[in-house]
């Protein structure tokens, strides 16, 4: 049953009282520094102001421009803050509802604020956990009969990304230049990427450190995750193709990775657990959880060309398609004693489903450029053009309640001359 807030929550909103995501905001036109927030409907709530009023326990948000200090306090504190906020903003609670001055001070319309990167990200890891995506890529670039490399069904493949270029939704992304080499060219040349792409992904934000040299079991891993965000891992396919042998992705990926501004807690996602795909062969014991579960999160990608007003939905997929779960990713990441830290970002890798319309990248949707997509405007796309805006949305739904992530959106700017 859906709970009610005295704040307006539009029909279909991703942010009812049951959600209570966490982010960082500042008010447009004010000199105050960024600070922690939650969101109900289209209202952004100042957590530092609530703490200053003595309405939130602890000292997590005052004089803090990211959520790292709050996250470091641990799961019991996260739950206490979330429960307190749900009580304060319920329709029956008059403490803020009937105090006009206090309500105006802590509540801000979404249109009047700027949203910031919610955490200081020390390290960023990108996985490759969709069997459908890995099979599609292997089919296109290698042998269709042996699309998956021998290790893929035995471990969550991943690589260390670039944390410095993780940006918040709404940030423009410049088309990268790099070394390109066509199949018929004898030598590479340096030029703007022609095959610029997006990737539908999700990421988890680490909420608990494991000491260097110590690992987390697959069943302990869930307690190390604070929450989840939407991710678009922008990709220059032509730069990547030339550079990735023998060590893997580098400049074709590191120009930008966009994340949504709101971190949705695992507690909010709990009602939407579902089974993971069956794993065959059975993973090694350290990757075998007592229960093999994931979340049912619907995902869409929308493309809007420059000068147009109507977006085209170009892909619909679901987080539950991932072969390797986020718990298995965390367990594998720490299995060698690697120490994860609070605020680290672990992204899922491209999420593709079994049907062509559920593929999570233009590389797959256009099948390496051979099957152009037609947009509402009548234009076609094989890869992203300058000034295209790509938006990914995601939400869970059931029993009259929708819990969502909002969106992660970015516009492609031309390469530097």
Active-site positions read 133
Residues 6+ apart with CB under 8 A from 113: 25, 26, 27, 28, 37, 44
Contact 171, 320 (CB under 8 A): no
Helix (H, G, I), strand (E, B) or coil at 360: coil
Contact 211, 249 (CB under 8 A): no
Q: Helices (H) and strands (E) in the chain — how many of each? A: 10, 26
* Distance separating alpha carbons of residues 317 and 291, to the nearest angstrom: 23
Strands 257-259 and 225-232: antiparallel
Strands 124-127 and 345-347: parallel
**Tokens describing residue 69:** 């200090």
**Residue carrying structure tokens 């922690």:** 36
* Distance separating alpha carbons of residues 81 and 70, to the nearest angstrom: 10
Element (H, E) at 403: strand 401-413
Exposure string over 252-264, b if 16+ CB within 10 A, otherwise e? bbbbbbbbbbbbb
DSSP state letter for 314:
E
> 334: which strand partners?
none
* C-alpha distances out from residue 184 to 187, 188, 325, 363, Å: 9, 11, 40, 20
**Tokens describing residue 230:** 């939407």
CB neighbours of residue 104 within 10 Å? 9
> 124: which strand partners?
345
């Amino acid at each position: 049953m859906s709970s009610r807030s005295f704040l307006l929550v539009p029909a279909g909103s991703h942010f009812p009282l049951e959600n209570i995501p966490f982010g960082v905001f500042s008010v447009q036109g004010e000199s105050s520094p960024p600070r922690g927030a939650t969101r109900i409907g289209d209202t952004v709530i100042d957590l530092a102001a609530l703490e200053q009023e003595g309405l939130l326990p602890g000292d997590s948000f005052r004089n803090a421009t990211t959520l790292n200090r709050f996250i470091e306090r641990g799961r019991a504190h996260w739950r206490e803050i979330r429960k307190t906020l749900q009580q304060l903003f319920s329709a029956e609670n008059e403490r803020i509802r009937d105090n006009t001055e206090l309500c105006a001070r802590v509540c801000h319309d979404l249109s009047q604020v700027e949203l910031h990167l919610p955490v200081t990200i020390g390290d960023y890891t990108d996985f490759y956990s969709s069997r459908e995506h890995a099979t599609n890529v292997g089919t296109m670039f290698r042998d269709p009969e042996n699309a998956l490399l021998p290790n893929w069904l035995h471990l969550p493949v991943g690589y260390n990304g670039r944390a410095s270029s993780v940006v918040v939704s709404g940030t423009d992304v410049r088309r990268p230049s790099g070394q390109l080499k066509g199949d018929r060219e004898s030598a590479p040349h340096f030029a703007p990427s022609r095959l610029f792409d997006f990737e539908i992904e999700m990421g988890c934000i680490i909420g608990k450190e494991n000491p260097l040299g110590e690992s987390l079991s697959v069943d302990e891993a869930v307690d190390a995750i604070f929450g989840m965000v939407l991710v678009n891992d922008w990709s220059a396919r032509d730069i990547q193709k030339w550079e990735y042998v023998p060590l893997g992705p580098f400049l074709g990926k590191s120009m930008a990775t966009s994340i949504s501004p709101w971190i949705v807690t695992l507690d909010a996602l709990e009602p939407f657990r579902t089974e993971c795909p069956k794993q065959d062969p059975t993973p090694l014991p350290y990757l075998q959880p007592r229960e093999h579960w994931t979340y049912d999160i619907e995902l869409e990608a929308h493309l809007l060309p420059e000068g147009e007003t109507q977006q085209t939905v170009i892909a619909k997929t679901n987080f539950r398609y991932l072969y390797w779960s986020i718990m298995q990713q965390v367990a594998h990441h720490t299995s060698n004693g690697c120490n994860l830290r609070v605020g680290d970002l672990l992204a899922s890798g491209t999420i593709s489903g079994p049907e062509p319309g559920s593929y999570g990248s233009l590389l797959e949707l256009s099948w390496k450029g051979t099957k152009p997509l037609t947009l509402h405007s009548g234009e076609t796309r094989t890869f992203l053009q300058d000034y295209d805006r790509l938006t990914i949305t995601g939400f869970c739904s059931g029993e009259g309640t929708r819990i969502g992530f909002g969106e992660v959106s970015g516009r492609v700017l031309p390469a530097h001359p």
